[in-house]
Amino acid sequence: MKTSQLTRGEKRRLMYVEGKEQLIDGARARIGWVTFSKSGRSVYYRGITLSRLKGGGTSGNFFHAETRTEFWVSGVKQRGSNAHPAEGRVDVLIDDDARDAYREMREGVST
């Protein structure tokens, strides 16, 4: 696994994923566990493959490999301001299997 700011050398990481033009299982944005490709250039989340946008996109940093729609993927922030800076407030759903890890991270408790 290639270490980068996104992967931090981890195979699985709690991340914020926001669909710019597409809902993710009925939500605009979600917090959940993602895994990474060996190179760290692709993110796998809820059965979706998201590939790194070269040169950046209009409002995302990844795109859905099949639909070509953009997504914003970033590390979860302890202060809770996870949305893309240009978006403002976005309603976010937290995956059931990530709820405890997210709560602990927000409270400053290490896992």
* Both tokens assigned to 38: 């060996």
Radius of gyration of the chain, Cα coordinates, nearest whole angstrom: 13
| pLDDT given for residue 111 in this prediction | 47
Contacts of residue 39, defined as CB under 8 A and 6 or more positions apart, other chains included, come to: 2
pTM of the model: 0.85
Q: Extract the residue ranges of the chain whose pLDDT is less than 70.
A: 1, 56-59, 81, 84-87, 109-111
